Structure 1
Amino acid sequence: MASKDIYFVPESSKWPIVGSLALFTLFAGSAMLLNQSPNAKYVFIVGIAAVIYMFAGWFSNVIAESLAGKYNKQVDISFRMGMGWFILSEVMFFAAFFGALFYARVLSVPWLGGEGSGAVTHQFLWPAFKASWPMSVMPDSTNFTVYKDIVPAFGLPAVNTLILLLSGVTVTLAHWALKKAQRNYLNAWLAVTVALGGLFVYFQATEYHHAYTELSLKLNSGIFGSTFYLLTGFHGFHVTMGAVMLAVILLRSLKGHFTKNEHFAFEAVAWYWHFVDVVWLGLFVFVYWL
């Protein structure tokens, strides 16, 4: 068992370099797909497989160390600080995209329409430009159109909002059950949370298909298309990863891994999931509703 006075230092690991190579391959494959390069799908598949291999191997090592009792209170504090800093970095990540949306809607587009310091630009470059949002077609001196047929806020986005809010409740109920050592309730509420996460991703994919095929809203549809897909797409990726992590926690719980006093792995995933919930509320308000 780990001593409370000695900080556990793991042995040298291959996983950081494996993770770096896996992510590089995945990103390279993604870029090749976007540029329609030959054999891009094979590079992308290899990248996906390498990332899965890295996660499975690294997670198994950490889980084995935890079950062996090698982690003490000092390590637990380090884990909590590390997860806190990670979530802060994610906050900054999304803040950059929300900032870009704010700049486009509140500053850039009104300036192009002649407000404030943009009067000269409007007069000499795009006198026919009328500031409005959403805007999906870049203006020029003779032609300017705006994108009016957007995804309605109180359709699938509202349903997904309810789903994520409900999942925040169910993961909290699972946490309470864990603290009370009620294993059956813990497993049940975790399973419901994973199912809700999967349902959210399914509905978002359905929304994307509708927007792309029926509304002609694409990534290159001006500033609106870019911000819409970047914000909702990255959030959807985070929900997907969160659902995968919750599924791993569920499998561990089914094996009886956690106790009511030692369950930081569960708490870390729950923190992440609540962060995803909060980000979606901002997306729903500022991307879909307003």
Structure 2
Amino acid sequence: MAQAHHDANVYYVPHGSKWPVLASIALFVTMVGLASWLSGFGGGKVAFFVGLAGLAAVLFRWFGDVIRESLAGFYNRQVDISFRMGMMWFIFSEVMFFAAFFGALFYARQFALPWLSGEGDGMATHTLLWQGFSGGWPTNGPAEIGGSFQTIPAWGIPLLNTLILLSSGVTVTIAHHALKAGQRTRLLVFLGLTVALGALFLFFQAEEYIEAYRELNLTLGSGIYGSTFFMLTGFHGAHVTLGTIMLAIIWLRCAKGHFSRNDHFAFEAVAWYWHFVDVVWLGLFMFVYVL
């Protein structure tokens, strides 16, 4: 096993860790539980929350080890570069993740729906499968899965949440500049505002979902529109939740004085992630709510 050292010319490799294996097990239990829950199998809900709690506990302990190693001075410039590359690849994978869902939305609207309506190359599909169907977006499809529904107006809660996320992007940037300038009070105030704005966004999204289910009959089962709407906005909401938790942890670390002007990659990594969340929401607002 590698030994801890402070040599700037040697890449630090930690001791053997049990956390990757435990995280894999917890993640497996979480996903099996979720699949079972959605499929109606008994015990799926319990397994999902047990796996989720286990994953949270493992990540808490794992990142705690990383923080202690960082504060002990085990990390040098080589490690910092690897952290930055890892975070960039992680965000790239997230870009591809959302690109897949945006691609499904684009395909359904620009190709599948016109073909089912008899346009272009879809004449055979229209005649053989759904003769007489003429659909415009939004739609729950030829079979009208889930029954009739109403959409959420873009200029209500969605616009408000857009302004909230854009404001949070400004506050986290101000906090970053305050950290680099050594302005501790300003850093904590604006980073705290960012956390509050993230929580406010989630509150309004929950209100939106409640209205959709109770009053608009817009559910995950409302055909192609309902599935793409909740997959895109739901996964984005999950990312906002994760980002808000990370920002809160970074706030606590800033309060404890873990970062300096020149050594604060953990803050930068979370800020990168938060800006990514902002950009994805702008795409959602335009292509899901407005257009």
TM-score (norm 1): 0.95
Q: 1:39 to 1:131 in 2, by over 3 A?
A: closer
How many residue pairs are counted as aligned between the two chains? 287
SS of the residue 1:211 aligns to: helix
Query: Could you tell me how far 1:148 is from its partner in structure 2?
Result: 5.9
Q: Write the letter of the residue equivalent to 1:225.
A: G
Post-superposition offset of 1:22:
0.9
Give distance in 1, aligned partners of 2:161 and 2:88: 26
SS in structure 2 opposite 1:135?
coil
Alignment correspondent of 1:31 = 35
Q: Confirm whether residue 78 of structure 1 aligns to residue 82 of structure 2.
A: yes
1:74-223 matches, cutoff 5 A: 74-136=78-140, 138-140=141-143, 149-223=150-224
Counterpart Cα distance in 2 of 1:124 and 1:262: 64
Please say if 1:255 is aligned against 2:256.
Answer: yes
- What is the Cα-based RMSD across aligned positions, in Å? 1.6
SS of match in other structure, 2:267? helix
Q: 1:268 to 1:279 in 2, by over 3 A?
A: same
Counterparts of 2:49 and 2:15 in 1: how far apart (Å)?
A: 31
Structure 2: distance between partners of 1:92 and 1:45: 27
CA-CA distance at 1:40 after TM superposition: 3.0
Q: SS where residue 149 of structure 1 aligns?
A: coil
Matched, 1:228 2:236: no
Deviation at 1:219, TM superposition (A): 1.1
**1:53 aligned residue (43, 49, 57):** 57
SS at match of 1:220: coil
- Write the letter of the residue equivalent to 2:261: K
Instruction: Give 1:145 shift.
Output: 10
- Give the deviation of 1:146 after TM superposition: 8.3
Cα deviation for residue 24 of structure 1 reads 1.1
1:6 alignment counterpart: 10
CA distance in structure 2 between the aligned counterparts of 1:265 and 1:104, rounded to whole angstroms: 39
Structure 1 residues 204 and 114: alpha-carbon distance in aligned structure 2, compared to 1, 3 A threshold = same
Question: 2:129 is aligned with what amino acid?
Answer: L
Report if aligned partners of 1:132, 1:146 keep a CA contact under 8 Å in 2. Answer: no
Residue 286 of structure 1 pairs with residue 287 of structure 2: yes
Summarize the Cα distance change of 1:146–1:212 in structure 2 as closer, same or farther, 3 Å threshold: closer
Segment of structure 1 superposing worse, 121-130 or 98-107: 121-130
C-alpha spacing 1:58/1:144, structure 2 compared with 1 (3 Å): closer
Q: Deviations over 1:238-274 (max 9, x none)?
A: 0000000001100101111100000000000000000
Unaligned runs of 5+ in 1: none
Q: C-alpha separation between the residues in 2 aligned to 1:180 and 1:187?
A: 13
Q: TM-score, normalised by structure 2?
A: 0.95
- Cα distance between partner residues in 2 of 1:282 and 1:47: 32
- 1:98-144 Cα shifts (integer Å, max 9, x gaps): 000000001110111111101222233323211300011x315xx89
